[in-house]
Structure 1
Amino acid sequence: MIDRPQSPCVAVCALDARAEFCTGCGRTIAEIGEWGGATAERQCAILALLPERMARQAAGQPVVL
């Protein structure tokens, strides 16, 4: 069994209207909504997507969801 990871929320909630993701943590609106009820495996899968999203955002590149 996988331990539940901590939420990636950094309390800087700002949604990017074009890509519909939080510019603070990188999660989509849907991912934020499902986080609390998601399995540990699903939470880990979401976390695995965030570094690339945040790197693309930081580089000024489009974030494809």
Structure 2
Amino acid sequence: MKKDDPCTGVCQFDNRTGWCAGCGRTMSEIKAWRKMTPYRRTALSRELQRRIQQVTKQDIR
């Protein structure tokens, strides 16, 4: 894993949202990560923490 890659090695996907429980990205976002512009990576990175929190809240319920 590279330092700018948000992957945590968990790779478990939420069936409802399609987000990874480890990094918060969708499968298509994971595949496109290396080709994304720095601007797009930064914008997505800001969104990922919210996604992870939402997925973990669903698991608790």
Report the TM-score, using the length of structure 2 for normalisation: 0.79
Equivalent residue number for residue 39 of structure 1: 37
Question: In structure 1, which of residues 53, 56, 61 is the aligned counterpart of residue 54 of structure 2?
Answer: 56
Question: In structure 2, which of residues 3, 7, 10 is the aligned counterpart of residue 9 of structure 1?
Answer: 7
Report the TM-score, using the length of structure 1 for normalisation: 0.75
Equivalent residue number for residue 17 of structure 2: 19
Deviations 1:7-42 (A, max 9, x none): 100011111122111111001112111101111111
Structure 2 unaligned spans of 5+:
none
Q: Normalized per residue, which structure has more strand?
A: 1
**Which 4+ residue blocks in structure 1 deviate beyond 3 angstroms?**
none
Identity of aligned residues (%): 35
Q: For this pair of structures, how many residues does the alignment match?
A: 57
Structure 1 vs Structure 2 CA RMSD: 1.7
Q: Normalized per residue, which structure has more helix?
A: 2
